[in-house]
Amino acid sequence: MVKVIVERRFRRIEGVQAEGLLAEMRSKALRARGYIGGETLSSLEDPSVLITISTWADEASWSAWASSSWRQEIANKITPFMVSPEKVSIFRIVTGSGT
């Protein structure tokens, strides 16, 4: 299982408009193989920063979604609102610390 964190920075005034597009992306991800769940968070310190955290069965499932036409279509609608490219980080879930 992997967690994917996508950070996006928007022009302040348009972050709210982008939230609807992110919700649309998440609803389409529900149909993607290996998608387990996700949520989008808005920074209290800087509301122009939105973080999406999603859980996937494995990295291959995420990669398939990341390159899918569904995701690309919505990403193309979101990009004009952003002030910088999205930052994607992929993490594996650590089970037990051993200490």
3-class SS letters over the chain: CEEEEEEEEECHHHHHHHHHHHHHHHHHHCCCCCEEEEEEEECCCCCCEEEEEEEECCHHHHHHHHCCHHHHHHHHHHHHHECCCCEEEEEECCCCCCC
Report the pLDDT value the prediction gives residue 32, as an integer from 0 to 100.
Answer: 92
pLDDT band at 97 (very low <50, low <70, confident <90, very high): low
Residue 99 inside a domain? The answer is: no
Question: Which has the higher per-residue pLDDT, 15 or 61?
Answer: 61
Residue 12 inside a domain? The answer is: yes
pTM to 2 decimal places? 0.85
CATH number at residue 8: 3.30.70.100
Question: Which has the higher per-residue pLDDT, 12 or 20?
Answer: 20
For the chain, the 3-state helix, strand and coil shares in percent, each to the nearest 5, are 40, 30, 30
For 31, the domain range is: 2-92
The total number of structural domains that make up the chain: 1
